[in-house]
Amino acid sequence: MYIDNKKVGEAAVDYLSTAFARVTNALAHFEKNDTGVCIDGKIEVYAGTAMTKESLYGEIPVQIKGTRTKPSGNNSVKYQVAIADLEKYLEVYDGVLYFVVFMDKTLQLRQIYYKRFLPYDIREALRRKKTDDQKRLAVRFTPLPDDFLQLNRLCKEFIADKRKQKGLDNDRFLMPGELEDAKIEFEKVELSKTFYSDELPISLKPFETGAYLYGTTPEGKRYVLEKISSIEVISSTSNHTLKAGNFECEAEVNIGEDHRGSFLTVGGISLRFDGTGAIKYTDQGGFRNRLRDSKLFQGLALSGELFFDGSLLGRCGSFDNLDLDELERRIETYERYVSLMDLLDVVPDWDPSKLSKKEAGEIRRLAEGLVDESHLPIGDHNESLIAFNSDIANSQIKTIGRLDKNGLYEIHNLISPDLAFVPCRGESGELDAENPMPTLFSLTSVDLRLLANINPAKLEQALKKYPITSNNADTSNNALLEMLAAYDKGAICQKEILVCCDIVSKAILDLDLNSEISAINRAQTLHRMNKLDGKWRARLRELAVTTDSKAVRTSAFILLGQTELAKSCLNSFDEIERKRFTTWPIYNLLDQ
């Protein structure tokens, strides 16, 4: 059947007009006679349903094409677009909404597809031009939503994004793959989406119309960083109180939505709210997470209820093929090892699936000695006191064994606040028993970097028993430098060791507020904590001027960020002085 192209064009306009008829904030003005050079009309978009001059939000230039060919796919189709049109969309209109209306041979509607040609999209398309004389480009179009709220969202966001992209220079558009290599500092990165009152922030629906990622530099320059065409899953993670049966816990809960529906996950437990009501439990993660998950799942299996922040989230029936006895045995095993970790103040959550046989054996031995309080045989050793390094999951636990009358060892946590470190003094190696210190002070930076059980609260307890005094201040200061060095090298207990540095550096400075070295060490600790305030910076400037010590002056310049002055001071050091200075933690801050 022959049908003139004018009729095809009219039918396309009619179908598109019908699609926008229910969009209460949009008024379509489409040309049936195709009189425009590049566009076929416009869509007036209003801030509300009242279509007045005052509420006019903006206008969208529109290009409409009708075709009686069959679309090649369901989720998207490729359509040839004239390059000359694309260039004019950018130069003249700052963006066009392009529609392709697919009909059958009798002009019955098959599907309407659309493409946003905003400045970012146009530039991205034109980059694919292979030759100067190329006339057309194949561009991928997506199905036009039949939900009038989605069309409302599409129109409003088109105008909002058009305003953000209008007038930006070409170098402000980072094409796919360029963001990772861009050496640009952004003060703010934003992604704007319209959400309706019944939509959650984790809803996929708003992202069906796509989104653009924008970045703003400290100088106020806006960049278009990326276009997000589709999202497979969106989720949000936050802490909540969960209760199932008699078990209640605080946990990090991941709530989200994918194309199957909404879901909730807590560690190895996942719940789906997509009609299936599927609940899955996988034993995964570290000992602490596994214990929490297994007890939560046990409570859910026994009670059939799950509470979320005090409110009933849902009920479930019985679980098929669930062995409650095996689950209870698993819980008992995890409780034993979590008790050990809590007793030792272990910071990382050791994952049993990643432990070697030797590491698992070390944990079992520690549990026997510390949880069960059993006295253990240690090979052929018969020393009265022996130190152990237990290497577990790229970290260390340090313990000591005390020989009993039966030739067995009583195991103690070396970092316990009940134990003290007594250094040797002078060439004679005589113990300085009058000035004991926390055992943490006995460790080198290598030990501290690997140590898995640093607890600042326990250090404070130890310092109450064995305080820093003028008699042990030098040794305490050396211990502080070891801790700072361990922090800089990436300690296992990174956060905890810095808190310990804070405690120790303050205590040392309080002994002598006029000590230049103590002030520098306190300042470099605060620098690592991002707490070096104006008062401290003023003190550092004063030190740089008044000190007689080249090391103190250089350190002050480093902490003030005056790198060139610091390097100039370093150049005045002799070889021995310079070599010694470069071994100190303060040197790690140079050029930062």
CB 113 within 8 A of CB 144: yes
Strand arrangement, sheet containing 41-46: 26-30, 41-46, 56-67, 96-103, 109-117, 136-143, 77-82
Closest CA to 398 of 421, 423, 425: 421
Task: Tell me which fold the domain 5-169 belongs to.
Answer: Trna Endonuclease; Chain: A, domain 1 (3.40.1350)
CB 268 within 8 A of CB 293: yes
The percent of residues above 70 in pLDDT, for the chain, comes to: 99
The neighbouring-strand residues paired with 196 are: none
Tell the residue number behind the tokens 């050496």, with chain if given.
183
Average pLDDT over residues 24-39: 84
pLDDT at position 201: 84
User: What are the tens digits of pLDDT across the range 444-467?
Assistant: 999 999 999 999 999 999 999 999
User: What are the tens digits of pLDDT across the range 32-60?
Assistant: 876 677 899 999 999 988 999 999 999 99
Which helix (H) or strand (E) segment holds residue 225: the answer is strand 222-228
Please state at what angle helix 494-511 crosses helix 456-465, rounded to 10 degrees: 30
Residue 393 tokens, joined: 């999951």
Residue 203 in this model has a pLDDT that exceeds 80: yes
User: What are the tens digits of pLDDT across the range 216-229?
Assistant: 999 999 999 999 88
Residue 388 tokens, joined: 């152990």
* 177 vs 449, more confident: 449
Query: Where along the chain do its domains lie?
Result: 5-169, 237-332, 355-413, 442-589
pLDDT at position 56: 96
Total Cβ atoms within 10 A of residue 3 = 13
Closest CA to 111 of 119, 103, 122, 99: 103
Rounded Cα distance, 192 and 208, in Å: 13
Residue 526 tokens, joined: 């605060």
Residue 409 tokens, joined: 């060892």
Position 275 confidence tier, pLDDT thresholds 50, 70, 90: confident
pTM summary value:
0.77
Q: What is the dihedral of CA 444, 445, 450, 452, to 10 degrees?
A: 80
Closest CA to 264 of 248, 242, 288: 242
| Range of weakest confidence among 429-443, 514-528, 556-570 | 429-443
Closest CA to 337 of 352, 347, 355, 325: 352
